[in-house]
Structure 1
C-alpha cells in the first residue's frame, strides 16, 4: 500500500470523537479525508476539534461517490444505520470497521457479511472487549486448562446510562427504538455475549431472559436485563446488562471451574485474579478496561487492529460472523423475554 491509509468516518458523535478519530490520528498510518454526519455542524466540528483538514458531508452515499480515494470506513452511526452504511461502503470497495451491535437483525448482519465476501473487502466489528489484556490472558489460561472443566460463569456490564456518554445526553438516539432498536442489551449486553463466546471459544446455544425497562423514563427500549446462557458444551451462566448502575459501573466476569475461578475486571487493583483450589492465588496487573468515565478512554485497540489488518493484509481479528454470533444471542434474549420461554439462538431468527 502506497502512502497512508485513507479513512472516511460516518457518524461524528461520541464514539467517533472519543475512540475512532483519536485512535486513527494517534496511529500515524492513516489520513482521515472525509467525515459525514446528518447534523452538518458536527461534521464540521471535527476539523477544529482535531485540527485536521477534511471534507464534510451530511449524506454518506454522496461521501462515497465524491471521495473515491477513501479506502476504509468507520461506521459510528446509530444502530439502525449500521447495516445500510456498511453495505454501501463494502459495495463501493471500502473496508469497513462497524460499531456494535453490527445490525438490528440477523438478516441484516448476514447481508453485511455477504457484501464483504462479494466485494473482497474486509468487515470488522468493534467488539473491543476481546482485546482487553485481562480477557486475552483469561482465554490463554482457559485454553491451557488452568481451571480444568468449566462449570459456570457470570458476566455483567452496567453503568448509569448513555445520557452521560452520548453527545445528545438525555435526548440521545440510544433511547429511541426506531434508531437504537435495542437498549442496554444492544449497548452493553452485546459486548458480553461476544466476550463469553470468545473466552470459551464456543457459541451460546440457548437463552432464557428477562429484558425490562424499569430505570429510564421517556424511552422505548430496554434498560435492564438478566439472562441465563447455556453454551454449546453445556456450560451455564448469567449475563446482565444495565443502564441503572450508579454511581459506579460494573464490567466484571467471573468463571468457575473444577480447579478454581478467574475474576476478570472484578477487583479495583488487579484486572485478573486466578484463585485455585490448591490454595494458590495469582494476581495479574494488566491495566484497566476502557470505561465511559472521565479518564477511562485509553486506546481500545480496535482501530489499531483494523488498520493493521488492512495495511498488512492480515485476517480480520473480529469478523462479521463474530459480530453476528454476538447479535444473535441478544436477539434470542429479546425473544425469550417476549415469549416467556427458553430460546434457541439458532432458531431465534429476525426479531421484530
Structure 2
C-alpha cells in the first residue's frame, strides 16, 4: 500500500514539536504539504520536511490530494478548517480543544460521518503508560470503589514555548476563546473520563485571570466534578506554575491510592490500604520542557486507525464529551451555579 499523503495546517509549536516530527518518524506517511498564514514559517517548514508550502488552507485542499490533515491552528479555526478538510475527502487529526462550542463539535462529527472519514482529537494523555496502567488497575477492581480524585495540569504559560511568545494567539479571547482551561484543562477532563470509565454529570468552575496582565482569557481555573456513580474530585488548570510543570493525577480508592506522574522517578505509585506500596517505572510523560521530545503515540494511532480502518480512541464523540466538561465549567464560572452535563 502506498504511503499516506499528509498535510499539516498551522506550523506553530505543536506542529513543529509533535505532529511533523512524529509523521516524519512514521514510515507509512509522506508529509506532502504544510500551510501557515506566516509565509516564511510555512516555507521554512516545507523545506525542512520536503513538502510544498501554502499560506491558504483552501488552496492547499483544492490543489493537493491528501489522505489526511493535521489541524494545528488557533482554537477558533479548529471547526471550520477540520470541516473543510473532511469535505475535501481527508481524514482529520485536530488539536484540542476540539472546537469552541458543542454546535461546532457536532458539525465536525457530522462532516466526518457524511464523508466517511476519520476524525480524531489530539488528547495525548490517554497514551501515557502510567495512565493506561492506572486505567487497567481501576477497571479490574484492583483499587476497589473509587471515591475521589485530584488532577492538575499547570506550567508557566504558553509564552515560554508558543511560536509567537508573549504575542501568542493563546492569550487572545477572539482566537483562543478559552485560556488555560482549553490548553490544559480539557486534557485532564478527557483523562479522567478515560481513567474512570464513566461520564461526568455535574461541574462547578472557578475561572480566573489573576496571574498574567494584558490577556483576555483565564490563566487559573479550579473545577469540581461529579461522575454518574458519584465520584467527586477536583481538576485544576494553570499558566502560573513556576518553576516546574505539574501534570499529576491522584485517584483515591477503597483499597488503594494511585499517584500518577506525581513522583520524579516513578510515573505510577500504588499505595495500598494494607501498607504495601508498588512503584512503577513506566517512562516519563511528555512535557513542554527541553528534552520532552518522546513520541506521544497520537500520530501513530491516527495513522494506524486510517490504515486498519478502525475508530480512533479519541474520535469526535469522545472529543465533544471532554469539551463539554470545559464548556460547563466556563458556564458555571459565569453563572455561579453548578452546570449539569448532558448524557
* TM-score of the aligned structures, taking structure 1 as reference length: 0.96
**Hey, what's the Cα distance between the residues in 1 that align with 2:237 and 2:62?**
39
* Counterpart residue number, 1:55: 52
Query: After superposition, what is the alpha-carbon deviation per residue over 1:214-248, rounded to whole angstroms, capped at 9, x for unaligned?
Result: 00111000000011000111100000000000000
* Counterpart residue number, 1:43: 42
- Kept in 1, the 8 Å contact 2:159–2:166? The answer is yes
**Hey, what's the Cα distance between the residues in 1 that align with 2:51 and 2:187?**
31
**Hey, what's the Cα distance between the residues in 1 that align with 2:151 and 2:306?**
32
| Secondary structure, counterpart of 2:132 in structure 1 | helix
Give how far 1:315 is off.
2.1
**Hey, what's the Cα distance between the residues in 1 that align with 2:158 and 2:293?**
15
Q: Select the residue among 287, 311, 329 that pairs with 1:291.
A: 287
**Hey, what's the Cα distance between the residues in 2 that align with 1:232 and 1:297?**
37
Give how far 1:47 is off.
3.1
**Hey, what's the Cα distance between the residues in 2 that align with 1:315 and 1:55?**
30
Give how far 1:300 is off.
0.6
* Counterpart residue number, 2:22: 23
Query: After superposition, what is the alpha-carbon deviation per residue over 1:143-177, rounded to whole angstroms, capped at 9, x for unaligned?
Result: 11011111000000000000011000000000000
| Secondary structure, counterpart of 1:306 in structure 2 | helix
**Hey, what's the Cα distance between the residues in 1 that align with 2:90 and 2:292?**
31
* Counterpart residue number, 1:112: 108
| Secondary structure, counterpart of 2:269 in structure 1 | strand
Q: Select the residue among 169, 176, 197 that pairs with 2:172.
A: 176
* Counterpart residue number, 2:6: 7
| Secondary structure, counterpart of 2:252 in structure 1 | strand
| Secondary structure, counterpart of 2:270 in structure 1 | strand
Give how far 1:297 is off.
2.0
Q: Select the residue among 318, 322, 327 that pairs with 2:318.
A: 322
| Secondary structure, counterpart of 1:74 in structure 2 | strand
Q: Select the residue among 257, 262, 265 that pairs with 1:261.
A: 257
| Secondary structure, counterpart of 1:34 in structure 2 | strand
Query: After superposition, what is the alpha-carbon deviation per residue over 1:126-159, rounded to whole angstroms, capped at 9, x for unaligned?
Result: 0000000000000000011011111000000000
* Counterpart residue number, 1:153: 149
Q: Which runs of 5+ in 1 are unaligned?
A: 348-352
**Hey, what's the Cα distance between the residues in 1 that align with 2:335 and 2:293?**
38
Give how far 1:278 is off.
1.1
* Counterpart residue number, 1:32: 31
**Hey, what's the Cα distance between the residues in 2 that align with 1:36 and 1:258?**
51
**Hey, what's the Cα distance between the residues in 2 that align with 1:64 and 1:153?**
44
Runs of 4+ in 1 over 6 A off after TM superposition: none
**Hey, what's the Cα distance between the residues in 2 that align with 1:111 and 1:288?**
36
Give how far 1:92 is off.
1.1
Give how far 1:346 is off.
1.8
1:64 has 2:61 as partner: yes
Give how far 1:28 is off.
1.6
1:133-148, aligned counterparts within 5 Å?
Answer: 133-148=129-144
- Matched residue count: 343
**Hey, what's the Cα distance between the residues in 1 that align with 2:190 and 2:74?**
20
